[in-house]
Structure 1
Amino acid sequence: MSTMRAARTIWDGCDGKVSNLSMQKLLYLSHMLELGAGRDGIASHEFEAWDYGPVEPGLYHHLKAYGSSHVPNVFSSQPYTGEDQEYESITEVLQQLGDAPPSKLVAITHWDKGAWSKNYIPGMRRLSIPDEDILEEYNLRAKGE
């Protein structure tokens, strides 16, 4: 699992038309699908509950200089390919939400029964979102709750 490799795959799948905020949400949803498939997830580090939803801090700091603009290809990692299991989860998320506006992605990841909601405390920083909570969110969504 590699956050930067996953981010490069998302960047390629969005033809470079993705902001840091959207990248974070697409990465989170891809990570959730990986966990739901019984795999280790896709992010190198735990997500944290920030004001605008789940954030992988290392990726955030790598991309923060670009603000709300589309990020350039600043990834030294090669993207996942069809031979990699992670590619399937990323591709599924991108097919459904790759063109979604950031506001829709924020709304999805702010779900009141989700892992972000369970761990977010306004004004607090560095609040981890355990993979167990993300998997629980996956299971609730899979049941249609």
Structure 2
Amino acid sequence: MNKKIAAIDIANYVIWKAKNTYKVGVTNLKLQKLIYFIYAKHLADGNIKLFDEAIEKWQYGPVVPSVYHAFKDYGVYEINQTKSKFSLDSSSGKPVLKTEDFEPSIITLNSNVKCNLIDDELEKYIHKDAYELVEITHQHPMWAKDKIRIMSGEKNIQYSDEELLAFFKPTEFTFS
């Protein structure tokens, strides 16, 4: 199974895994930071984008806007269920709106996804408070360099894969 992964798929996996493995809830704020760490780690491990949506620099750190809007109805409260995806199916010749409920296998059986990296990042960050994660991301140079623009309300400031790679990719040392 190598279906294209979207940011909402990663979000759903995080919510599902947090609830079923770690027995903890996730707010939208915390979810955004977890997705950021997962995306960056996946990118740094093999220069492979986990999904195509942009990650933006917002006042409280990194945010994938499509995921934020999918779960914003929860406000500051824990997200209690995954979101369905909607797509158009035109195989019959007529476009029909199709609903897809989240199945963990979309992540776990996808050869383009390194589940061990996702799970490692969740293990590392899942028990941290959302505001601890905000503080961590605010210390990253790629957020800090745009802090004035972000805090003055400028929108659509995106993280680039290049700056994420520069920060998250482990440096390889060579000995002479």
How does the TM-score come out when normalised to structure 1?
0.86
Equivalent position of 2:60 in the other structure: 52
Tell me the alpha carbon deviations over residues 12-33 of structure 1, each in whole angstroms, 9 at most, x when there is no partner. Answer: 1210610000000000000000
Following superposition, the deviation at residue 48 of structure 1 comes to 0.6
Preserved CA contact (<8 Å) 2:18 2:26: yes
Following superposition, the deviation at residue 133 of structure 1 comes to 1.1
Of structures 1 and 2, the larger Rg is shown by 2
Equivalent position of 2:73 in the other structure: 65
One-letter amino acid of the counterpart of residue 103, structure 1: Y
- Give the Cα separation in 2 of the matches to 1:59 and 1:46: 11
Runs of 4 or more off by more than 4 Å in structure 1?
A: none
1:37 aligned counterpart, secondary structure: helix
Q: Pick from 93, 96, 118: which aligns with 2:145?
A: 118
1:1-145 superposed matches below 5 A: 1-15=5-19, 17-76=25-84, 77-79=102-104, 80-81=107-108, 84=111, 85-113=113-141, 115-120=142-147, 121=149, 122=151, 123-139=153-169, 142=170
Residue 38 and residue 119 in structure 1: after superposition, are their counterparts in 2 closer, same or farther (change >3 A)? farther
Q: Percent identity?
A: 27
What's the RMSD between the two structures over aligned residues?
A: 1.8
Preserved CA contact (<8 Å) 1:9 1:90: no
Following superposition, the deviation at residue 118 of structure 1 comes to 3.0
Following superposition, the deviation at residue 43 of structure 1 comes to 3.5
- Give the Cα separation in 2 of the matches to 1:24 and 1:35: 16
Aligned residues: 140
Structure 2's unaligned 5+ residue stretches are 85-101, 172-176
- Give the Cα separation in 1 of the matches to 2:146 and 2:61: 10
Following superposition, the deviation at residue 78 of structure 1 comes to 2.3
Preserved CA contact (<8 Å) 1:47 1:56: yes
Preserved CA contact (<8 Å) 1:22 1:105: yes
Preserved CA contact (<8 Å) 1:82 1:88: no
Residue 45 and residue 95 in structure 1: after superposition, are their counterparts in 2 closer, same or farther (change >3 A)? same
